Amino acid sequence: MKLSKIAGETSQPPILRVASQINEKIARGETFYNFTVGDFDGRIFPIPEPLTDRIVDAYRDHQTNYPGPVGLPGLREGVRELVRKYADVDYEVDQIQISSGSRPLIYGMYRAVVDPGDKVVFPVPSWMNDAYCHLCAARPVPVQSSVGNRFLPTAAELEPYLSDAAMLALCSPQNPTGTVFAPDQLREICDLVVAENRRRGPGVKPLYVMFDQVYWLLTFEGVPYPHPAKLCPDIRDYLFCADGLSKSFAGTGVRVGWGYGPAHLVRSVSDTVAYIGAWAPKPEQLATGRFLEDLDAVDAFLVPFRSALHQRLKSIYDGFMAMKQRGLDVDAVAPQAGIYLTVRINLVGKRTPSGQVLKTNDDALAYLLDEARVGILPFSFFGAENLGQWYRISVGTCRLDTVPALLQSLEKSLTALQ
C-alpha cells in the first residue's frame, strides 16, 4: 500500500532494534546490564514528592479540561522564575510556551524556521536532528565533533556551514555525551551567529539557534553552565531554548515541557503545538506551576538528585580508567552533567574466544550484547558513523550496587579477546 514519500523513507531507529534484542534476553531470564535507555526508573529516581502530591490533588479537583494553547499563566510564571534564578536571564511570560514535553517544542521550532530544502547545521553525535530534518524535508548538515572538545563543536568547526543555513541546532549538556559547552566555546559560537545575521541584513531570514537545554539543571558541581543569552545578549532575537521536567526532575512520563525565545518565534512554535494538540495535561501544568513557586523545594530535590547521578557516572568512569591502566583498549570522558557517560571500547579487528573476528561496529555491538551482557549505544546511532568505537552509557535506571558487576562482566569479556 502506498504511503507518503516521508513515511516511505522513514525507518525504525536502530535504538529500538537494540532495545528489542535486550528485551528478548531479559524475557529469557538472562542476567543483563541495560544502560541504553535515556529514561529513569521511578522506583530509583522518583519525581519530587511535592510535585506528585500536587498532580494527584489536581486530578481529584477535576482539573481535566483543555489547558489552552500557550500554557497556564502560573506555570509560565514559574518557568520565568526558574530561568531567572538558575541561568540569570529574564524572559517575559509571553515569551514562554508550554507543551507536552520538550519534543513538540523542538519540532515546532523546526516547523517555524525551516522550509523544505533549507539547511540545518548540527554537530554529531547528537540526538534526533537528522530525524527532524527528515520530517521537515530539510537538508541536514552534520558537523563532526571530536573528543578533544568533549564532542561539542567549536565556532571554527561550524563557521564554514552557516552562511546559507536556516538553523543551527545545539544541545548542552549534550545527549549522548554528558558534556557541557565551556563558556568561551559557546560565546564564540553565539558571536558567530550574531555576526552572520548582521551580514544578512534586514529582509532576509535570519540564522536561528535551537538550543536544547533539557539537562541543564543536572550540571555537576564545579562545572559552569553557560546560558547563550547570558553570554551574548545580542543572540536573544535568534535563540529558542527547549526545556522541561523530563530529565532535570526525572519526569519523562509526566510530559510537561517549556520553551522560550523572542515573542514572534514563540507565537509560531505555539501554533504548531496547538495544531497537533501537544498540550501538557492541565493537572500536570497546575502542579508544576505550584511546585516551581517554591524554589527552595526545587533545590531540595536537585542537590541530592545530581549527587546520586554523578556518583553512578563517576563510579563507571573510574572503572574504565582502571581498565585502561591495566592495558585494556578503553577510554572515557569525565562526566559533566545529566545521565550519560561517554566511553570508548575498541573491539573492531579483535578475535573472540570462538575464533570470530569482529570486523565491523555491528559485530562489536553484538559481542557486547551477547558476551558481556551489557547494553550501551554506539555514537553511530547518533549520526557519527566514524565514531563507532565510542558509546553512550545511561544511568537513569541504574542501581549503584550493580556498577561493580557491570564493570566485572565487561572487563571479563574484553580480556577474553585476542
Q: Is the peptide bond before 173 cis (omega within 30 degrees of 0)?
A: yes
Backbone angles phi, psi at 127, to 5 degrees: -100, 115
Q: Which of 213-229 are b and which e, b meaning 16 or more Cβ less than 10 Å from the residue's Cβ?
A: bbbbbbbbeeeebbbbb
Question: Domain 49-295 classified CATH 3.40.640.10?
Answer: yes
Q: What is the pLDDT, as a whole number, of residue 23?
A: 83
What angle (nearest 5°) sits at the alpha carbon of residue 190, between those of residues 185 and 194? 150
| pLDDT values of the chain reduced to their tens digit, one per residue, 418 residues | 778 888 777 776 777 778 788 888 888 888 899 999 899 999 999 999 999 999 999 999 999 999 999 999 999 999 999 999 999 999 999 999 999 999 999 999 999 999 999 999 999 999 999 999 999 999 999 999 999 999 999 999 999 999 999 999 999 999 999 999 999 999 999 999 999 999 998 999 999 999 999 999 999 999 999 999 999 999 999 999 999 999 999 999 999 999 999 999 999 999 999 999 999 999 999 999 999 999 999 999 999 999 999 999 999 999 999 999 999 999 999 999 999 999 999 999 999 999 999 999 999 999 999 999 999 999 999 999 888 799 999 999 999 999 999 999 999 999 999 8
330 DSSP β-pair partners: 345
Q: Decide if 51 contacts 287 (C-beta within 8 A).
A: yes
Report how far residue 380's alpha carbon sits from residue 73's, in angstroms, rounded to the nearest whole number.
42
Scan for cell 538528585, then name that residue. Answer: 305
Helix, strand or coil, per DSSP, at residue 96: strand
At position 201, the amino acid (one-letter code) is G
Full DSSP string of 329-357: SEEEE---BTTEEEEEE--TT-B-TTS-B
Q: What is the CATH number of domain 5-45+300-415?
A: 3.90.1150.10
**Residue 172, SS3?**
coil
For residue 163, the tally of other CB atoms under 10 A from its CB is 11
Q: Domain locations in the chain?
A: 5-45+300-415, 49-295
Name the pTM for this structure.
0.95
> Between 282-292 and 295-325, two packed helices, what is the crossing angle to 10 degrees?
90
Alpha-carbon distance 193 to 388, whole Å?
31
* 203 C-beta neighbours (distance < 10 Å), count: 5
Q: Say how far apart CA 16 and CA 145 lie, in whole Å.
A: 25
Alpha-carbon torsion 45, 51, 56, 59, what sign?
negative
Write the single-letter amino acid at 22: I
